[in-house]
C-alpha cells in the first residue's frame, strides 16, 4: 500500500514512524504548505515526493491512502477532497469542528465505500482495551459510576516548549484558528475512552467550560486566546451509570496524564495512561471488602495504524470509523451548547425539531458511542 502524509508538523512524526514500521507499506509522499518543512520531513523519513498543496498531490495521484495530520479546521475540506479522489483516509481527531461537517465526512466515506478511520490513539493502549472487556463481561458487575480526567500542564510548564511564542500551541487556544479548546482537543479523547470502556452511549450531559486570562487582553499577535482551557462535565450513560469528566491545561505537575476509573457493584478498575507508559489495576472479589488493588497484566494490542492498514488490505469494517467520530463530535457540540444554555441536555432524536431533547431507544445506535 502506498501512503501519503498530509501535514508534516509534530504529530506527523508519529504517523511516519508507526506506519513506516508496518510491512508492505511505503510512504510515497508528504504534503505541507511550507516547502522547507515538507522537504525536511521527507528527508528524515526517506520519502521521495513532496507537495505544497493537496490538489497537487491528488493530481499526481500515485497513492492509495492518506494520513490527514493537518490542523483541526482543515480536516473537513482536505478529507472530502481525498474521498472524492477515492483515497482511504486515517484522519486525526477531532474529525471536524462540528457535527454537521463530521457527519458529511462520514456519509461521503460510506457512499464511496472507502476505509475512513478517526485517529483516537488511546485505543492503542492495552489497559483501556482490557478494561472494556472486563466491563462487558460483567467482571465488575453492573457499572454504577465512572470518573475520568485528562491533565496537562503546558500553560504553566515549559516541558513542551514556550506556548506563548509558538504557533503550534497558540492555535489551540484560539477559536478563530479553528480550536474548540481543551474540550475539542483532550475532551474528544476522554469522552471516547469513557464511553468505549463503559460499553455504553451517553444519554445526557451537562458541561462548564472556562477560558482563563493568559496575556494582556487575552491576545498574542494574531491569536485571540478565547478557546476554553479547562472543562468539567457530568453525564448519564444509556446503561444507567453516572459519570464525571474533567480536563485542563493548568494541571501543574502533570505533563500528560489520562486517568479513568470505573466502579461496578462487584468491583472496580483504574486505567492510567501517561507519556511514560500505561497501566491497569483492579479491585475484585474478596479485595472489594479490604480495598486492595492489584495490577493486571494486559499484554499488547494492535495500534490504530496497524488496524487502518489491515482494513484497507482486507476491506473489513474499521473501528473507530468516521460515523463514530461524527457522533463523538456531537457530544462536543452539545457540551458547548450546555455551557451556553447553563442546562443539562439530552441527546435528541435525529430530525427532532421540537427542541425538547427527547430520547428514543431506536436512536441510541445512531447517536451513541457504542463500538461493537
Q: Give the pLDDT score at 231.
A: 97
pLDDT by 10-residue block (mean), the chain, 372 residues: 96 95 96 97 98 98 98 96 98 96 98 97 96 97 98 94 93 94 95 96 94 96 97 96 97 97 98 96 97 96 96 91 95 92 74 32 33 30
Contacts of 308 (CB under 8 A, 6+ apart): 65, 88, 90, 115, 117, 318
Backbone angles phi, psi at 190, to 5 degrees: -75, -35
C-alpha cell at 7: 501535514
> How far is Cα 260 from Cα 245, in angstroms, rounded to an integer?
9
Position 159 scores a pLDDT of: 87
Give the per-residue pLDDT at 366: 31
Domains belonging to the chain, first-starting first, are 2-121+307-321 (3.40.50.720), 123-301 (3.30.360.10)
Residue (of 14, 259, 30) closest to 119 by Cα position: 14
CB atoms within 10 A of CB 162: 9
The per-type count for the chain, helices as H runs and strands as E runs, is: 13, 17
* Residue pair 123/145 in contact by the 8 Å Cβ criterion: no
What is the model's pLDDT at position 348? 64
Beta bridge partners of 231: 209, 247
Cβ within 8 Å of residue 85, ≥6 positions away: 58, 61
* Strands 230-237 and 202-210, sheet pairing: antiparallel
SS3 282: strand
Amino acid at each position: 500500500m502506498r501512503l501519503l502524509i498530509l501535514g508534516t508538523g509534530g504529530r506527523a512524526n508519529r504517523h511516519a514512524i508507526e506506519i513506516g514500521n508496518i510491512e508492505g507499506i511505503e510512504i510515497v509522499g508528504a504534503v505541507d504548505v511550507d516547502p522547507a518543512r515538507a522537504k525536511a520531513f521527507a528527508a528524515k523519513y526517506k520519502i521521495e515526493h513532496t507537495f505544497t498543496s493537496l490538489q497537487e498531490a491528488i493530481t499526481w495521484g500515485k497513492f492509495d491512502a492518506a494520513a490527514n495530520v493537518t490542523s483541526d479546521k482543515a480536516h473537513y475540506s482536505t478529507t472530502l477532497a481525498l474521498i472524492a479522489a477515492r483515497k482511504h483516509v486515517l484522519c486525526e481527531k477531532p474529525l471536524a469542528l462540528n457535527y454537521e461537517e463530521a457527519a458529511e465526512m462520514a456519509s461521503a466515506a460510506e457512499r464511496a465505500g472507502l476505509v475512513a478511520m478517526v485517529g483516537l490513539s488511546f485505543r492503542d493502549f492495552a489497559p483501556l482495551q482490557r478494561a472494556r472487556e472486563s466491563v462487558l463481561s460483567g467482571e465488575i458487575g453492573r457499572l454504577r459510576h465512572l470518573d475520568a480526567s485528562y491533565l496537562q500542564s503546558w500553560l504553566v510548564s515549559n516541558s513542551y516548549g514556550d506556548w506563548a511564542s509558538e504557533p503550534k500551541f497558540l492555535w489551540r487556544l484560539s477559536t478563530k484558528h479553528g480550536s474548540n479548546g481543551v474540550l475539542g482537543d483532550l475532551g474528544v479523547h476522554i469522552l471516547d475512552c469513557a464511553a468505549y470502556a463503559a460499553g455504553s452511549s451517553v444519554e445526557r450531559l451537562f458541561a462548564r467550560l472556562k477560558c482563563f486570562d493568559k496575556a494582556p487582553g487575552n491576545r498574542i499577535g494574531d491569536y485571540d486566546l478565547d478557546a476554553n482551557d479547562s472543562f468539567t462535565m457530568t453525564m448519564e450513560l444509556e446503561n444507567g451509570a453516572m459519570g464525571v469528566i474533567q480536563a485542563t491545561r493548568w494541571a501543574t505537575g502533570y505533563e500528560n496524564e489520562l486517568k479513568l476509573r470505573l466502579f461496578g457493584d462487584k468491583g472496580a478498575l483504574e486505567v492510567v495512561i501517561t507519556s511514560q507508559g500505561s497501566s491497569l489495576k483492579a479491585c475484585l472479589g474478596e479485595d472489594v471488602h479490604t480495598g486492595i488493588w492489584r495490577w493486571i497484566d494486559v499484554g499488547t494490542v494492535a495500534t490504530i495504524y496497524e488496524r487502518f492498514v489491515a482494513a484497507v488490505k482486507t476491506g473489513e469494517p474499521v473501528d473507530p470509523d468516521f460515523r463514530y467520530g461524527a457522533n463523538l463530535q456531537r457530544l462536543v457540540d452539545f457540551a458547548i451548547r450546555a455551557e451556553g444554555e447553563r442546562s443539562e441536555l439530552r441527546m435528541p432524536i435525529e430530525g427532532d425539531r421540537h427542541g425538547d431533547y427527547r430520547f428514543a431507544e431506536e436512536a441510541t445506535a445512531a447517536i451513541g458511542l457504542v463500538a461493537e
